[in-house]
Every structure is written in C-alpha cells, then in structure tokens.
A and B are shown apart, each in its own frame.
Chain A
Amino acid sequence: MATDAPGEGEPGDREDEGAPHPAFAGYAAEPVPQAAVGSPGKDGVLELRFERGERGTALSHDYATVPFHVSGTLGHDPHPDAETVFVQSPTGGVAQGDRHDVTVRVDADAVAHVSTQSAMKVQTMRANYAAAETRLSVGPGGHLDYVPEPTILHEGARYHASLDLDLAAGASAVLGEVLVPGRLARGERFDFERCLSQVRATGPDGLLFEDATHLAPGDDAGGPGPTAPGVLGEFAVYGTLFVVAPDAALSSDDLHDVVAAACADAPNPARGGATRLPNGAGVAVRVLGDRGETVSAGLHSAWSAARRELLGAPAPAGRKY
C-alpha cells in the first residue's frame, strides 16, 4: 500500500479500466504519482465462500491479497449454525488509485456474517480516486449479514463503492453501511471531495431495489450540499441498513419502532426510521446522527430485531476487541 504523498517515482502507466461512474471520469484520467493503479497492494482481492455442512456453516474457500487479510473464522455468533469472518487490513486505509474487489458467496442454507475488524479510512487524495466493487450472492435458504465497520472519509478523499447483492429463492441478507464525513474529533467535517456508494439488489425475478449515497462537498455547482435541509441537515454521520428478505413477512413498523426508540434514547442527537422496500424486497433503515457509534448502535438495534425475526437469533455483539 503506497502513501498518498506525491512521490518521485514513475507516474502510473496502467491504462485505467474506465471510471465506474461519470462523476469519476475526470479523476480516472489523472495518473497516480506513486505506486500505479494495479501495482502490488493497490488491487485488493477478497473471495469468501460459505457452504452448509453437517455441523453448520463452514468457510470452504478464501482468497485474500493485500490489503485484505483473513485469519480464519470466529465462532461467536448467537446463531448455532452461523460462521463469522472479520476481514482484517494491515494497511493504514485506502489510498488514491486503490481498487478493491470483493466477492462473497453463501451457498444454500448456509448462514454467514462478514464484517471488518475496524473502521476503513479513505485517505487524502490529490489525484485519481479509490474504488471498491463488492458482489454478494446468497443461495436458496441461505442468509448473509454483511455489516462492515464505518467508512471514514478524510480531507480530499474521492471514493466510489458499488455493492451488488443477488438472492436466490428463500434467501435473505442484511447489508449495513455507515459513512463518517471526516475525522470529526479533530474538526474535519465534509472536507472530502466526493463519495458515491451504490447498492443494487436482485432476486430471481430481477431488480428488487437500488440506492445511492452521493455526497460531493467539493462540488459547488452540484446544488444543495450535504448539510442542506432534507439531505443530512444538522447531522454528520449517515447509516443505512437494508434487510433484504423478499420471502419473509417482515414488518417495517416494528423495525421503525426499534430504531426510533434507539435514537430517542441515544446520548447524543440522532434520528432514524424504517420503510418498506420496493418490490416486497424487505425493509430499509436509515439513521442520521452526530457520532459514528450512535448511528452504528441505532442500526444494530434494527439489525438484531430483524435477525430475530428471520433467524430466531439476535445480531452478534458489535464490540470487536
């Protein structure tokens, strides 16, 4: 993993594969003035596959290149058949020119929980951008919880994330994301340049729903900024949880009550709610707050309630150390 400081080395000579979104086309043309796009450590690949065996779920395939590291599974899930992987990173975060590629496959009737060990820092950038592409698939009757720790967007960061989820019949998944707009404790707030995070879920009959988080504090011509009324308002941290379960009769009212109560009881300001997803896909939960841990706690309360409904077991504890 190279640092983000412009260096003396050769500029990146790899032809980039093209921007993942038109808003990133300008960045894609900029050479990376250190380790080039595609150099060792720049392209992280992570593959995980879970299968259902006689003694519950097992991790049957794993492949990780820097900055991903997988040191095995953990058996602390409150669900007896579930398997857990906390993906680790030996690096200081994501730098300009980094491209991550994550594939998680959960086979029929397996129950898997994939998370990260700590928050992911998207470092300051002066050229190009960083991107992560994630593909998740869940086989018939399987369940996946994909709830990484928060993403922290440092000053000048340009970050594109795309996440595709495909569910087979009877499958379900919980997807969580928390975006922290800077190192808030040192007063860094909405100093990143652009963050676009897109989520797309499909089932046996095609598209279920799609969602996009698009924040570009550096783009004055882009209209109302992150703090505009109706966007994030007075809040800074933004969290989303999708409970995708087309074949389950989940109540968005129940999840709304849980998350609204968690926000009302929080030690600092937060506001959250839940709504029915299109195409009977499940429930979307959104929480806005001042601090990352408050937003994560709000999402966790909804996650746990949803998991009891879907699997008969609460969500694993949030604490990872």
Chain B
Amino acid sequence: MSDDATLSAFRLADSFLPDGSHTASYGLEQFVQADRVTDADELEALLETYLRRQVGPADLVALRAAHAGAGDGDLDAVLRADRRLAATTLAAEFRESATAAGGRLLDLQCAAREAPLLERYARRVDARDAPGMHPAVLGAATAVAGVGEREACLLCCHALVTGLLGAAQRLLALGHTDAQRLLVALRPAIRAAVDDSTTRALADMTPFTPLVDVLTAEHERADRRLFTS
C-alpha cells in the first residue's frame, strides 16, 4: 500500500473519526443490563461471538464485495452488497446503527477528498435507493483510498472491537489496561473472521446470533438507555 493509503487506513480505524459509532453498542448494553456480561472475560467471549458469527459470515462478505465493486468503478456492485447486507441483518437496531454510521462515513469521505464514486453512492443513499450499511460504505471508501481488501477487513474488525470496548468502559468497570489486553487477545478471532469471509459469496451470508437478536429486541423497548443499539 502507498503511504497515502496507509494513512487513510489509520484515519478510518481511529476512534477520532466522527462517524458516530460511539453511540452504538450493538446489543452490549442489554447484555450488561441483563447481567450476562459482568467482567472482561465475559466481554471477550461475547465479542468473539460477534466477530465469528456476525462480522465474518456477513459484514465482511458485504465489505469485500463492495470493495471489489468500488475497485472496478462499478457502483451497482457496491449497491448490491449494501442492499443484500441490509436484507440479511434482521435486528432492526443493528440496521439503524449500521446505516447511521454508514451515512456519516459517506458524508465524511465526500467532504474530505475528491471521490466521484462515493458522491454518486451518497446520492443513491440520500434518495433511499440504497441503505448505506456501514460495512458496504467502508468497503467502497477503503477501495477508493487504495487500502487493500484484507486490510480493509482487519480495519473493520479493529474499529468495531475498539468501539465496543469503548462502550464497555462506559457500561462496565472495564479499565484501560483490560481494554488493551482484550484488543490483543481478540486478534485470533479477528483473523479467523476475516479468513471465513474470503470464500463466501453475497448469497452465502449466514450470520447467526439468536441470543443477541433477542436481547437487541429487548433493548429496542428499554426505557432508559445510553446507546442507540
């Protein structure tokens, strides 16, 4: 990768990036609320489930397809990946968080650099012709920035785990040292999730986290909540 692409990757993986992902906990808040996650070990086990059962079999498959499409300048291929991921993401709050973060990332990228494909993509999302799911937007944005496909997948996992660890610090008494330890401990799960997504086609997305779905459904109706999901 060029220096410019590497710097783009750093910028997109940084929690300084104002894509609003700090407002999403992807069900973690409800797991803490239900006393199902009370310490760093339980958090690590749940994050491994996210990576291996949701991100690898679904999010990264769409990210790769969008990355390949954007690399070919084929916006329709990006939109196909985007729509398919939304049709496969059944928890309503997950779709809302993913489209909110995707929309903001698309706006940020269009403002930060010259990118005709992303501008056309943003117009389709504004016209409600495509949902703008975060993994698909990230796939297109990384391709435009020259970040490789595998690096983009790793980046997506890193950003998700960092975001959820940040959420955990606010929900649990999780120290900074524990957060860094988990970020390193989850590397094998991240690599496995990325490997799992390599051979899958868009028609073969099989996310499977039923207990996350049920707790997210409870979170949708929770009276007091810190996070949007």
Contact between chains at B214 and A273 (CB < 8 Å): yes
Chain A residue at minimal CB-CB distance from B192: A223
Chain B residues within 8 Å of A, Cβ to Cβ: 27, 31, 36-37, 42, 45-46, 48-50, 52-53, 56-57, 83-84, 86-93, 95, 189, 192, 196, 199, 204-218, 220-221
Chain A residues, CB < 8 A from B210: 213, 231-232, 238, 240, 286, 288
With A209-B88, A223-B189, A278-B95 as given contacts, are A228 and B49 in contact (CB-CB < 8 Å)?
A: yes
Chain B residues, CB < 8 A from A273: 213-218
- A99 interface residue per 8 A CB criterion: no
The listed residue with most A CB atoms (<10 A of its CB), out of B56, B90, B209, B216, is B90
Contact between chains at A224 and B48 (CB < 8 Å): yes
Chain A residues within 8 Å of B, Cβ to Cβ: 21-22, 196, 198, 207-215, 222-224, 228-233, 235, 238, 240, 252-253, 256, 260, 271-279, 284, 286-288
Contact between chains at B49 and A275 (CB < 8 Å): no
How many Å lie between the Cα of A229 and that of B43 in the bound state? 9
Additional 8 contacts, C-beta under 8 A, given A230-B209, A253-B221: A210-B88, A214-B57, A231-B211, A240-B210, A256-B221, A271-B214, A275-B213, A287-B214
How many Å lie between the Cα of A198 and that of B206 in the bound state? 8
Instruction: List 15 contacting pairs A-B, 8 Å CB cutoff, sorted by A.
Output: A208-B87, A212-B206, A212-B207, A214-B206, A223-B189, A224-B45, A229-B45, A229-B46, A230-B27, A230-B211, A271-B211, A271-B214, A273-B214, A275-B92, A288-B211
The listed residue with most A CB atoms (<10 A of its CB), out of B88, B89, B207, is B88
Identify B211's interface contact among A211, A214, A229, A256, CB under 8 A. Answer: A229
Chain A residue at minimal CB-CB distance from B213: A286
Contact between chains at B46 and A278 (CB < 8 Å): no
Chain B residue at minimal CB-CB distance from A274: B217
Chain B residue at minimal CB-CB distance from A207: B87
The listed residue with most A CB atoms (<10 A of its CB), out of B83, B93, B214, B216, is B214
Chain A residues, CB < 8 A from B90: 209, 211, 275, 277-278, 284
Chain B residues, CB < 8 A from A279: 86-87
Chain B residues, CB < 8 A from A233: 36, 211
Chain B residues, CB < 8 A from A272: 214
Contact between chains at A212 and B205 (CB < 8 Å): yes
Contact between chains at A278 and B89 (CB < 8 Å): yes
Shortest A196–chain B CB gap in Å is: 7
With A224-B52, A252-B92, A253-B221 as given contacts, are A232 and B211 in contact (CB-CB < 8 Å)?
A: yes
The listed residue with most A CB atoms (<10 A of its CB), out of B48, B49, B57, is B49
Chain A residue at minimal CB-CB distance from B209: A230
How many Å lie between the Cα of A231 and that of B189 in the bound state? 16
Identify B42's interface contact among A215, A229, A278, CB under 8 A. Answer: A229
Chain A residue at minimal CB-CB distance from B216: A275
Shortest A250–chain B CB gap in Å is: 13
Chain A residues, CB < 8 A from B53: 223-224, 228, 230-231
Chain A residues, CB < 8 A from B36: 229, 233
Shortest A219–chain B CB gap in Å is: 12
Shortest B56–chain A CB gap in Å is: 8
Contact between chains at B45 and A275 (CB < 8 Å): no
